[in-house]
Chains A and B, each alone.
Chain A
Amino acid sequence: MSELIMHQWQQITESSWLIFFSILGFSVGVFVYRRCGNHPLSHPLVISTPLIGLTLYLLDIDYGVYYSANGILNWLLGAATVALAVPLSQQLKTLSVLWPTILLTVLSGGFFAAVSVLVIGSWLILEPIAIFSLVAKSVTTPIAIIITEQLGGLIALITFLVLFTGIVGIVVAEPIFKFFSLHDERWQGLILGVTAHAIGTLKAFEKSPRCGAFSTIGMGLNGIWTALFLIPLMQSFGP
């Protein structure tokens, strides 16, 4: 326990002035995102990370040094994961009769999302470390980072792939709903939340608050569910 606290304390105290790159980059990202009318392709992460990457490259700053300089942000990620329980608990109170369908869809959808990339990944003959950094791609980033850390994958890769999954998700969602004539916004929201996590939820809130609420449920439940089944599954089967 004391070791854990020491580790966290170390993480926070390692923070240095390089953290301003992140904050400045994020501010620019948010500014551009709002200017583009919240278009998913102009997501703050899409704008800010190449900018910061380029800056580090031009100033010849080592990525490892930059990463540990952001210790306090990485530390806050843990708190933020726990905070996800707040919107989830608010939404859970609003439903009762829909429970069986919600549970069935989230559990099977979350399971299929992870197993399908696993199968496709091994079929494409990916390196084990690449597969470990890929399987949590449908889960919201803070939980995906925890899962990937436990599996021994690359944090940098999963963050990027989660973002990419979200963008793919919201691009293909509308045509799929239309083709299979799924018009009910509640279920559209749930699907967006499970497959495209926070980016899907953002999109769902644009449709309607109800759609967003269901998306929050889908994202939250899928995050918990994937963490529960994926880590034991991957550890028992190995690469």
Chain B
Amino acid sequence: MLLLLVVLIFSSQLNDLIQPTSSHLIQNLSLLFIPACVGAFFLSEQINLQLPKLLLAVIVSTPLTMILMTLLITSIKGNKDV
């Protein structure tokens, strides 16, 4: 991915060439996750017991990260819409 990124930054012709294909692929990206995601219903008993804790960790950590980033940006940039 990094390699393609570097190449694309310097070559706009290649960008035009692969853009249509890649945008189709990315638009339907969810389809590719289905097989793995279905596995969530077939997890072992041991993991199922941990699931509430896992969800709790996500529920706590996600807003915390957002607040941290928001504070960081407002302290650098102020609240002005530029």
- Chain A positions within 8 Å of B, measured between CB atoms, are 22-23, 25-26, 29, 43-45, 48-50, 52-53, 56-57, 63, 66-67, 70, 73-74, 76-77, 79-90, 92-93, 101, 104-105, 108-109, 112-113, 116-117, 120-121, 124, 126-127, 129-130, 133-134, 137-138, 141-143, 145, 154-157, 159-161, 163-165, 168-169, 172-173, 176-177, 180-184, 187, 190-191, 194-196, 198, 223-224
Contacts and interface: CB of A to CB of B under 8 A. Distances in A.
Interface of B: 1-2, 4-5, 8-9, 15, 18-19, 21-23, 25-26, 28-43, 46-47, 50, 53-74, 76-77, 79-82
B36 A126 contact: no
Interface of B is mostly: helix
Contacts of A196: 62
Given A104-B76, A112-B68, A124-B57, 4 more contacts: A87-B23, A154-B43, A157-B54, A168-B62
B4 A82 contact: yes
A127 B62 CA distance: 21
B63 A82 contact: no
Given A142-B32, A184-B82, A85 B1 contact: yes
B69 A194 contact: yes
A130 to B, nearest CB: 5
A112 B69 CA distance: 9
Contact of B65 (A23, A76, A195): A195
Nearest to B24: A83
A176 B63 contact: yes
Nearest to A115: B61
A141 B39 contact: no
A224 to B, nearest CB: 6
A155 B36 contact: yes
Given A168-B62, A182-B79, A156 B31 contact: no
Given A85-B1, A116-B64, A49 B47 contact: no
B41 A182 contact: no
A6 to B, nearest CB: 21
Nearest to A55: B38
19 contacts: A22-B35, A25-B34, A43-B30, A45-B33, A67-B36, A85-B2, A85-B5, A86-B22, A116-B64, A134-B58, A157-B40, A159-B39, A163-B33, A164-B55, A168-B62, A169-B62, A172-B63, A176-B70, A190-B73
Contacts of A82: 1, 4
A76 B41 CA distance: 23
Contacts of A48: 34
